[in-house]
Structure 1
C-alpha cells in the first residue's frame, strides 16, 4: 500500500468514525485528527519542495565550492 493510499484510507476512516460517533468529544477528537493529518501533509510537501530546491540550486553549489577549496 502506497503512502498516499494509506493517507486516503486513514482520512476515510476518521471521517467514517466521526460521522458515526454520538459522543461530542470523540467526534471533535476525530475531526481534529483529520485536520492534523491534512496539516502534516501540507508541511511534508513544503519540506520536500524546500529540499528539492536546495539540492538543485546552482547558487548553493557555488557556495559549497568556495567553502571546500
Structure 2
C-alpha cells in the first residue's frame, strides 16, 4: 500500500473517530489505526532490508 493511501486511510479513520460517540466503534478504529501504522512500519523495514541485501557486496559474487 502506498504512503498516500495509508495516510488517507488513517485520516478517514480519524475523521470517523472524532465524530463517534460509540465506545466499541472508537476502540475498533484505534486498533485499526494501530495495525495500519505497524504494517506500514514493517513494510518500510522490509524494503530497507531488501535494499540492503541487494546492495551487499557479499551477495555480488553469487
Unmatched tracts of structure 2, length 5 or more: none
Within a 5 Å distance, the mapping from 1:1-69 to structure 2 comes to 3-62=2-61, 64=62
- Larger gyration radius, structure 1 or structure 2: 1
* TM-score normalised over the length of structure 2: 0.89
Unmatched tracts of structure 1, length 5 or more: 65-69
Higher relative CO (Cα under 8 Å, sequence separation at least 6) belongs to 2
The count of aligned residue pairs is 62
* TM-score normalised over the length of structure 1: 0.81
Structure 2 distance, partners of 1:35, 1:13, is 14
Runs of 4+ in 1 over 2 A off after TM superposition: none
Deviation at 1:6, TM superposition (A): 1.3
Query: RMSD over aligned Cα, in angstroms?
Result: 1.4
